């Protein structure tokens, strides 16, 4: 039996697919995000700020795969590129929303009720609408 270790554990990283609904585009865009697991109280403090989606997304997004520029060249993760990416509200929302879904034990893109779910890596994060 695997034991859950949580006290004194370094923040865990995990991947999840992110779907971005781009305004004016019929087809959603997708990329894979690497997220940091955050404690509930730290996450709640971020959510209480002025721009919670962008603030949370900036803290939990640790890396990505599948972000490209206009010429279809891969865009590497960096603080500058993260800031540019999250300057688009629909991307910040998609990143934050995906993170919240995974924290609640849901797998983005999978139908509700499917028994193949990711374990919730953190506490029960809730989100203001």
Q: What is the pLDDT of residues 117-128, one digit of tens each?
A: 333 333 333 334
**First-residue to last-residue Cα distance in the chain:** 38
> Binning pLDDT at 50, 70 and 90, where does residue 116 land?
very low
pLDDT at position 11 is 66
| pTM, full prediction | 0.75
DSSP 9-59: PPPPEEEEEEEE--TT-SSPEEEEEEEE---HHHHHHHHTSSSHHHHHHHH
Question: pLDDT above 90 covers what percent of the chain?
Answer: 54
d(CA 116, CA 44) in angstroms, rounded, equals 28
What is the tally of structural domains in the chain? 1
pLDDT (tens digit per residue) in 22-66: 999 999 999 999 999 888 888 888 888 788 899 999 999 999 999
Does some domain include residue 128?
no
Most confident option among 80-84, 99-103, 121-125 = 80-84
CB atoms within 10 A of CB 43: 23
Domain that holds residue 94: 13-103
* pLDDT number for residue 1: 62
At residue 88, what are phi and psi to the nearest 5 degrees? -90, 115
Instruction: Identify the bridge partners of residue 65 per DSSP, sorted by sequence position.
Output: 32
Summarize pLDDT for 3-24 with one digit per residue, the tens: 655 666 666 899 999 999 999 9
Calpha distance 60→40 (Å, rounded): 12
DSSP assignment letter at 76: P
The span from the CA of 46 to the CA of 86, in Å, is 15
Considering the domain boundaries, does residue 119 fall inside one? no
Token duo for residue 102 = 């995974």
CB–CB of 122/43 below 8 Å? yes
Residue 78's pLDDT is what? 97
**Within a domain: residue 124?**
no
């Amino acid at each position: 039996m695997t034991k859950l270790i949580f006290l004194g554990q370094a923040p865990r990283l995990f991947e999840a697919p992110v779907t971005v609904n781009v305004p004016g585009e019929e087809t959603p865009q997708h990329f894979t995000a690497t997220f940091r697991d955050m404690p509930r109280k730290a996450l709640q403090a971020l959510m209480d700020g002025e721009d919670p989606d962008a603030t949370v997304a900036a803290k939990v997004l640790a890396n990505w795969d599948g972000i490209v520029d206009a010429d279809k060249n891969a865009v590497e993760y960096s603080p500058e590129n993260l800031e540019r990416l999250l300057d688009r509200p629909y991307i910040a929302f998609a990143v934050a929303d995906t993170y919240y879904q995974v924290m609640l034990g849901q797998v983005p893109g999978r139908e509700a009720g499917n028994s193949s779910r990711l374990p919730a890596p953190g506490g029960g994060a809730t989100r203001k609408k």
